[in-house]
């Protein structure tokens, strides 16, 4: 039997449309942009301060090996900026492609108390009566009810009483302090405080970020409130006074004024605030955290 043209599948003909290859995921796009620039992944990690293992997981689409989504989106944005891609578009594509299963909090269900195991009410009342009886016996004993009259001799008639010694108190000599000595000592410490714009950041090498809120003390206006992911920073607007800071996990915050690093204002896991967003206020918070 001869084969006809109708037996040839439609998709195998010369005019059949070509199937469109699926678009690559954002990890592949970032990797391609990096390779086009001839750069190693370790170079990107050093520039963005994002751990190398997280950048590798982003490129290989191993979403379950990445931290929580807010932190990972920050990593993707930093990676995109480093290779010249749009960070917002890269973050949005990663969010749509994310396959990681959200971590649901564990709920502990407490079983109700078995009434058969609970002590009877009569036993409870008996225990209360015994305790009250012991307290009454103690009060009666200390009041002398079981020993007749209180025969403790008066202190004034005690033959062993020792007369009070005569103590001569010498008045201390008053030395007049030099005026303004405390002010002169405090002036160098105040002058040593750095000045300039205050920048708050989270080290990219830590695993957790920090929640923080910057607001106006008088009006309550919020200038910033969210989780600051590792590798991100927030610059306090210059010229604004009366701003305060509240933060959780304060130990991962790095704070600098005019490019000069300030001491830590808390330990990891600490919740602090309100702290005046000035060099003096941050220095006072650091002293309090150090226990000075």
Q: DSSP assignment of the chain, as one string?
A: ----GGGS-GGGSTTPPPPPPPPPPHHHHHHHHHHHTT--HHHHHHHH---HHHHHHHHTT-GGGS--HHHHHHHHHHHHHHTT--HHHHHHHHHHH--PPP-PPP-PPPPPPPTTTSPPHHHHHHHHHHHHHHHHHHHHHHTTTTSSS--PPPGGG-TTPPPPPP-PPPPPPP-PPPTTHHHHHHHHHHHTS--S-EEEEE-TTSS--EEEEEEETTT--EEEEEEE-TT-EEEPPTT--SEEEEEESGGGEEEEETTEE---SS-TT-EEEEEESSHHHHHHHHHHHTT-
* Residue pLDDT tens, the chain, 292 long: 444 444 444 444 444 443 333 458 999 999 999 999 999 999 999 999 999 999 999 999 999 999 999 999 999 999 999 999 999 999 999 999 988 776 655 666 666 666 667 678 888 899 999 999 999 888 888 877 766 555 555 545 554 454 555 555 555 555 555 555 444 444 444 557 787 888 888 888 888 888 889 999 898 898 889 888 888 988 888 888 888 989 887 888 888 888 888 888 888 888 888 888 888 888 888 888 887 5
Domains and CATH numbers, the chain: 26-97 (1.10.260.40), 192-289 (no CATH)
pTM here is 0.36
């Amino acid at each position: 039997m001869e084969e006809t043209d109708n037996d040839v599948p439609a998709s195998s003909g010369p005019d059949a449309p070509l199937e469109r290859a699926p678009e690559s995921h954002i990890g592949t796009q970032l990797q391609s942009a990096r390779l086009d620039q001839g750069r190693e992944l370790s170079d990107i990690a050093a520039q963005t301060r994002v751990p190398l293992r997280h950048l590798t997981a982003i490129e290989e689409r191993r979403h379950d090996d990445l931290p929580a989504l807010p932190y990972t989106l920050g990593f993707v944005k930093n990676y995109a900026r480093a290779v010249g891609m749009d960070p917002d578009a890269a973050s949005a594509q990663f969010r749509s492609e994310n396959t990681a299963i959200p971590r649901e909090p564990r709920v502990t269900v407490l079983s109700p108390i078995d009434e058969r195991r609970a002590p009877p009410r009569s036993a409870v009342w008996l225990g209360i009566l015994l305790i009250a009886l012991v307290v009454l016996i103690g009060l009666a004993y200390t009041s002398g009810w079981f020993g007749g009259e209180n025969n403790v001799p008066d202190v004034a008639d005690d033959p062993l009483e020792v007369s009070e010694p005569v103590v001569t108190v010498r008045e201390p000599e008053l030395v007049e302090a030099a005026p303004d000595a405390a002010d002169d000592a405090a002036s160098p410490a105040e002058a040593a405080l750095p000045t300039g714009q205050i920048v708050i950041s989270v080290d990219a090498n830590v695993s957790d970020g920090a929640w923080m809120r910057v607001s106006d003390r008088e009006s309550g206006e919020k200038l910033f409130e969210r989780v600051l992911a590792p590798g991100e920073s927030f610059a306090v607007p210059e010229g604004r006074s009366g701003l305060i800071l509240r933060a959780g996990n304060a130990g991962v915050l790095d704070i600098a004024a005019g490019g000069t690093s300030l001491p830590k204002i808390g330990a990891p896991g600490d919740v602090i605030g309100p702290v005046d967003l000035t060099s003096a206020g941050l220095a006072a918070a650091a002293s309090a955290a150090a226990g000075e």
